[in-house]
Structure 1
Amino acid sequence: MSRIAYVNGRYQDMRDASVNIEDRGYQFADGVYEVCEVRSGQLVDMPRHLKRLQRSLSELRIAEPMPLSALSVVMHEVVQRNRVRFGIVYLQVSRGVARRDHGFPTKPVRPSVVVTARSIDPAKGADNCARGIKVITVPENRWPRVDIKSTALLPNVLAKQAAREAGAYEAWYVDGDGFVTEGSSSNAWIVTQDGRVVTRPDKSGILSGITRGVLIEALEALQIHFEERPFTPQEAAGAAEAFTTAASMIVMPVVTIDGHVIGSGKPGPVALRLREQFHRFASFS
């Protein structure tokens, strides 16, 4: 079956879908995006994703392309047209098409909107979870405004590639003070030897992940002790467990960091429980 994309008001076959070569998203990465999990044909935590999209657009002074309710309709339609039961839906908004100039267009332009969806075999994620994943650390080299979900992801691309070349699944950034910030496409967590779940505060240095936010609510409801504070790779290496979170992987146990075995070297009970319980606390639409 051909995949269908939504591009600036039209649903098109992916083979025919395109944007103008002077779209600022293409030329300057002047845009933002969201990735939402699709589970049993429903979108997971979509209102939170759209709220974060709204914030990212505001921070970059990009106009909202349409009301959030209309974006919701488009996202659902793309999921349905692609018959996605389990997978992701991707939404990108750029500043729009204008003559190439670093400054904003002098005349108002219409933002560009692209929505795609694709299936992901849930068994693959389950297999990765059963084994646990490997993580490497890399120096933090991104711009400071990582709180904006910008399409400017070249440092993340290079970090992910470094992980793959090292036989790992993910790379965690380490800042100039020696603390873990987040992964190239995920948030980073550890579980201390006395059972405290720890992740970096979202005040600086990380994107405020939607899965991260839902998981914090789950931790509180499940009465699991939780701390927001920085941690070092050395503390992570000595932790009882580690895991990473994102819409595309939910909760994924980490079994090695830079070759150091975490805990027993197998997915830990806290991460597995949180993965199992996560969707009880998520919203569906």
Structure 2
Amino acid sequence: MESIVYLNGDFLPKSEAKISAFDRGFLLADGVYEVVPVIRGRMIDRLPFRERFTNSLRALKMEWPMPREAFEEMMEELIRRNGIEEGGIYVQVTRGVAPARTFEFPKGLEPTVMAFAFAKEILHNTHAEEGVPVVTVEDIRWKRRDIKSIALLGQCMAKEEAVEKGAYEGWMVEDGFVTEGVASSAYIVKDGTVITRPLSNRILPGIRRKVLLELAPAHGLKVEERPFTVEEAYEADEAFLSSATTLIYPIVRIDDRIIGDGRPGPVTKKLRELYVQSALAEATGELREK
């Protein structure tokens, strides 16, 4: 059966979902997006999703295109119509269709709202069990990486380079320091301490990162927020990444260097277990929204 897409108030078969060639998202990447994990048919990490989506919209001088409750009801209906038990939902809002291609923000446009759901194994998969390789790539992106912008050409180029080198992910490097993964947050572990770059406009404020940095100290794990170099990453005891539909993947190789003993380490495995427990609690209603 053809998947169902939400577009500007309608639920449509994927083949019928069309957007104007004059939409500012198409012409100028003038829009933002989010990806929300789905587990057992329910969205998880709702609260940090709302916060980050709001911040991205505000940075582009945009508002939620409809009341938040209605927006999330739309997402839930899309999950239901597509029968998604485990996977994710992608939502995108652009400034809309403008009468002329101009660089300033036109006023009074009707935003374009699009969303689709997809199936993916999150809780149990080979990458989570065995770990993945990453390679370092140059970070060539713009200076407002804290906005979850649909302008992703720099990330696409970096991902292509990583794939051509046989890696699962790229770790972007600027001035000798790792900023973040192409589509994930980056971490190393040294002497039992989880190390990750502090928030700034140089990285995206990862939702999984936010949850992990709350879970870790609550369960006796040390966290240090500071930049780390590529050399430090090579010498780390463990390394891992996090994103919406991976939760946490261990990293077993960076470039040509084996990390630790080449297998997922104990801190990474504990953090993934804790995150899965938290996600399942939210999905089953045991973890109530505040």
TM bucket, shorter chain: over 0.9
Out of 182, 189, 192, the residue aligned to residue 195 of structure 1 is 192
Q: Which amino acid aligns with 1:85?
A: E
- TM-score normalised by length of structure 1: 0.96
Give the match for residue 77 of structure 2.
Answer: 77
Give the match for residue 162 of structure 2.
Answer: 163
Give the match for residue 172 of structure 1.
Answer: 171
Written as runs of structure 1 = structure 2, the 5 A alignment for 1:24-173 is 24-98=24-98, 99-105=100-106, 107-122=107-122, 126-173=125-172
Q: Which amino acid aligns with 1:216?
A: L
Whether the 8 Å CA contact 1:139–1:173 is kept in 2: the answer is yes
Q: Provide the rounded CA distance (Å) in 2 between the counterparts of 1:126 and 1:216.
A: 23
Does 2:271 match 1:270? no
Whether the 8 Å CA contact 1:63–1:111 is kept in 2: the answer is no
Out of 198, 209, 212, the residue aligned to residue 212 of structure 1 is 209
Structure 1 position 139, deviation (Å): 1.3
Q: Which amino acid aligns with 1:96?
A: G
Structure 1 position 210, deviation (Å): 0.5
Q: Provide the rounded CA distance (Å) in 1 between the counterparts of 2:120 and 2:219.
A: 29
**Could you tell which deviates more after superposition, 149-158 or 271-280?**
271-280
Provide the secondary structure at the position in 2 that maps to 1:156.
helix
Structure 1 position 280, deviation (Å): 3.1
Structure 1 position 259, deviation (Å): 1.1
Out of 278, 283, 287, the residue aligned to residue 281 of structure 1 is 278
Listed one character per residue, the Cα deviations across residues 59-93 of structure 1 (whole Å, up to 9, x for unaligned) are 01123211111111011010110000010100000
Give the match for residue 185 of structure 1.
Answer: 183
* Number of aligned residues: 281
Provide the secondary structure at the position in 1 that maps to 2:12.
strand
* Identity between Structure 1 and Structure 2 (%): 44
Written as runs of structure 1 = structure 2, the 5 A alignment for 1:5-16 is 5-16=5-16
Whether the 8 Å CA contact 2:138–2:158 is kept in 1: the answer is no
Provide the secondary structure at the position in 2 that maps to 1:11.
strand
Whether the 8 Å CA contact 2:122–2:246 is kept in 1: the answer is no
Q: Provide the rounded CA distance (Å) in 2 between the counterparts of 1:40 and 1:218.
A: 21
Give the match for residue 288 of structure 2.
Answer: none
Whether the 8 Å CA contact 1:134–1:169 is kept in 2: the answer is yes
